[in-house]
Amino acid sequence: MATVLNLRVLSEAQVKSLATMREAIEIQKEAFALVVGGESLPGLRRWIDRHNDDPPCLVGFLPSFLTGGRGYGVKIISDFSGQRGHDLPHMMAIVVVCDGRTGAPQAVMEAGHLTDLRTGAATGLAVDLLARGDARVATIFGAGRMARNQMEGLSEVRRLETVWVCSRTESRARAYIAEMQAMGGRIPQDIRLAPSPKQCVEVSDIVITATTAENPVFDGWDLRPGTCVIAGGAYREVDSETIRRAAKVVVDMKENIHAAVFRQPLAEKIITEDDIADLGELVLGRKPGRETAEEITFCKTEGVPTQDLVTAQYILRMAEERGIGTLVPIL
C-alpha cells in the first residue's frame, strides 16, 4: 500500500485557540535553553529589505534547525506597509514545520499571531527573571501591534496596578488603551495616557519599549533604582545611560548582540560583549537574574527563530491531539 503523507494546515483562528500566553512563556524557556545548549543551529536567517522597490517591502526567511532529530522549519514573514488597494494586513507570516527524523513536512500554519505570542511571551519570561516580584507600575512606549503582546506577556507574570502608555500619536494611544482594557483577565484597568516620558519612567518598576523609534525614547537618568527595562523594538530606543546603570545586561541570543541598542555602549566601552548575558543562561541558572531590589536590569529582545519553531511544534502537538486543522494529502 502506498504511503499517505498529510500536511496539517492551521488558520490564524485555529492557532489562537491552541496556545495561551501562560503556555507560551513556558515554551520560550525551552527555546532559549536549546539556543544556549547548542542544540539549535545559529546564523541561518536572512532578511531582504526592498524599501526602495515598488511596492516597498521587508521579507524575512527565518529557518531553525534543532539537532538530534528534534525537527526543523522556517518562518516566512513579510511587511508590505506600502501596499495599496488590498484589504490585507501589511504584516503576514507562515511557519512550515518538518519532522526531524524523516524530513517529512508536517504542518503549515499562520504565523502572524504566533509571532505576536512568542514575542510577548519572551518579554513575560524576561520580566519574570529580571523584574522585582512586587513590581506594580509599568510604562509601555508604543501603541502598535507589538505593544499589544507586550502588555499581555507582562501582565501574565506580574500583578500590575497601573500602566502608562507613551506614544507619538495620542489618538492611537487612546485606542490602544481602550483595546487593552476591553481584554480583561490579568490586564489592569488602570491604563493611562502618559503625561511625559520622564514623569512615567520616574515612577515605574518596569519600562518596555515597543516602537520603531530610531533614537532613545526616554532618558536613562530618570530610571529609579530597581527598574527592569525591556527593549523590544528594532532600533536604538534606549540610551547608553540606561545600559551603563544596569547591573544586569541581557540579550535573547548572543547572535543579537550587535543590535542597534548595543552599538554605542560597546563602541564607548561602557560594556563589553562579555558583560552581556544570554537569556537562556538565566533560564538554565548558569547566570543570575535579579539579585537585589535596588539593581536596574536590562534585556534586549530581538527575536530568535528557535522561538518560532518550538512554539509551532507545541501548537502542532495540540492540534493533533484535538483533531484541529485541515489535512491535505501531499504524498
Label the pairing between strands 91-98 and 71-79: antiparallel
Residue in the block written with cell 528534534: 70
Q: Which residues pair with 162 in a beta bridge?
A: 137
Tell me, what's the pLDDT at 233? Answer: 83
Q: Please check the confidence at residue 1 and state whether its pLDDT lies above 60.
A: no
What are the tens digits of pLDDT across the range 115-137?
A: 999 999 999 999 999 999 999 99
Q: Please check the confidence at residue 2 and state whether its pLDDT lies above 70.
A: no
| Residue ranges of domains in the chain | 6-114+306-329, 123-303
Rounded CA-CA distance 294/141 in Å is 23
Tell me, what's the pLDDT at 81? Answer: 77
What are the tens digits of pLDDT across the range 54-110?
A: 888 899 999 999 999 999 999 999 988 776 667 888 889 999 999 999 999 999 999
What are the tens digits of pLDDT across the range 182-222?
A: 998 899 999 999 999 999 999 999 999 998 888 999 999 99
Q: Please check the confidence at residue 180 and state whether its pLDDT lies above 60.
A: yes
SS3 for 105-157 is EEEEEECHHHHHHHHHHHHHHHHHHHCCCCCCEEEEECCCHHHHHHHHHHHHH
Tell me, what's the pLDDT at 106? Answer: 98
Can you tell me the mean pLDDT for 32-36?
Answer: 95
Percent above pLDDT 90 for the chain: 81
What are the tens digits of pLDDT across the range 285-315?
A: 999 999 999 999 999 998 999 999 999 999 9
> CA-based Rg of the chain, rounded to a whole angstrom?
20
Q: How many CB atoms lie within 10 A of CB 49?
A: 12
Q: What cell numbers appear for 152 in the block? A: 499581555
- Cis amide linkage into residue 55, ω under 30° from 0: yes
Percent above pLDDT 70 for the chain: 98
Q: What cell numbers appear for 211 in the block? A: 516602537
Rounded CA-CA distance 227/163 in Å is 14
3-state SS, residue 251? strand
Tell me, what's the pLDDT at 266? Answer: 92
Q: Which of 76-90, 165-179, 255-269, 285-299 has the lowest mean pLDDT?
A: 76-90
Mean pLDDT of the chain: 93
| Domain pair 6-114+306-329 / 123-303, same fold | no
Tell me, what's the pLDDT at 184? Answer: 85
Inter-residue long-range contacts of 37-42, CB under 8 Å, 24+ positions, other chains counted = 37/280, 37/284, 38/67, 39/66, 39/67, 39/68, 39/70, 40/64, 40/65, 40/66, 40/67, 40/306, 41/65, 41/66, 41/67, 42/253, 42/255
CATH for the 123-303 domain, from 3.30.930.10, 3.40.50.720, 3.40.50.620, 1.10.630.10: 3.40.50.720
Q: What is the pTM of this model?
A: 0.94
CATH for the 6-114+306-329 domain, from 1.10.1740.10, 3.30.1780.10, 3.40.50.300, 2.40.50.140: 3.30.1780.10
Render the burial of 58-87: b for 16+ CB within 10 Å, e for the rest: eebebbbbbeeebbbbbbebbbbeeeeeee
